Amino acid sequence: MSAEIIVGDTPVYVARPSFESRGGIIVIHEVWGLVDHIKEVADRFAKEGYMVYAPDLLKDTGIEEKITPELQKDLFDPEKRTAVQPKLREIMAPIQSPEFGQKTTESLKKVFAALLNETDSKGKIAVVGYCFGGTYSYNLAVDEPRLAAAVPYYGHCDHSVEELRQISCPILAFYGEKDEALMGSLPELKNRMHEAEVDFTAEVYGGTGHAFFNDSNPFSYNQEAATDAWQKTLAFLSNHVG
């Protein structure tokens, strides 16, 4: 059963299980916004027994109106990527500021509190995020000590060791081998996580790149990697959320 609510000033897509909840999951969208693909992912988690909140964190930026399906596909098309990247950078400018980052993390903390209240005080809450959402999954893990687990898919994490020491939950992160920018920074991230004594596991899928889980994009989707990551995600959530 799905619905839409407002938490603070953030629209949230809610997917509720048809039986007693095992716990809660915040699903954070890619940089394309709260599109149908992310709502379908939320529904999939709900079918596994989780109460799911999927917030729309780009509603006031104008980005969702400017990004077309054609632009998304061109970005992942090797023959067109270079040509569309300047346009994409221009569109994404509003979300690059520290002010946006702080506001977005505060919105996520409010969503966390609302979901915790709905699942009752004993419920455990995890976050699962993709791309933009993977980055903010790391951010929420740093800023919300009550978080039970975090699963960032191809997210960026530039937190210092001191900041990472604030993380109290285990993290299972997923990457594609061909995602050069993130793969280049992954060894250093592993070192920082180790120094901060964070329970951190990184799964890297060979032969695939960024956004391999997104089955709405034929250029990036990798069925084998996506299926394996989904099963590992469910097992991880079962162990740490319920």
- Note the pLDDT tens digit of each residue in 9-56: 999 999 999 988 899 999 999 998 999 999 999 999 999 999 999 999
Average of per-residue pLDDT across 140-153:
98
The pLDDT assigned to 200 comes to: 98
Beta-strand ranges (E) seen in the chain are 2-7, 10-15, 24-28, 51-55, 125-130, 149-153, 171-176, 200-205
Interval 172-190 mean pLDDT: 97
The pair of three-digit structure tokens given for residue 100, joined into one six-digit string: 């946006």
- Residue 78 predicted with pLDDT over 90: no
- What pLDDT sits at residue 236? 98
Mean pLDDT of the chain: 93
Query: Please, what's the b/e burial string for 126-136 (b: 16 or more CB within 10 A of its CB; e: otherwise)?
Result: bbbbbbbbbbb
Cα separation, 77 vs 92, in Å, equals: 19
Q: Convert the pLDDT of each residue in 201-212 to its tens digit.
A: 999 999 999 999
Q: Is the pLDDT of residue 178 over 70?
A: yes
- Rounded CA Rg of the chain: 17
The pLDDT value given to residue 114: 96
**pLDDT higher than 60, residue 121:** no
Q: What is the mean pLDDT of residues 176-205?
A: 97
Domains of the chain: 2-240 (3.40.50.1820)
Helix, coil or strand: residue 140: helix
pLDDT tens for 160-172 read 999 999 999 999 9
Residue 67 pLDDT > 80:
no
pLDDT at 21: 86
User: Rounded to two decimals, what is the model's pTM?
Assistant: 0.94
Burial 73-110 (b: 16+ CB within 10 A, else e): bbbbeeeeeeebeeebeebbeeeeeeebeeebbebbbe
Alpha carbons 208 and 225: distance in angstroms, whole number: 8
Q: How confident is the model at residue 81 (pLDDT cuts 50, 70, 90)?
A: confident
Query: From the centroid of its chain, how far is CA 70?
Result: 22
Q: How far is residue 131's CA from residue 46's CA, in Å, rounded to a whole number?
A: 21
Tell me what the mean pLDDT of segment 225-237 comes to: 98
| CB within 8 Å of 239: residues ≥ 6 apart | none
- What mean pLDDT is predicted for residues 59-83? 78
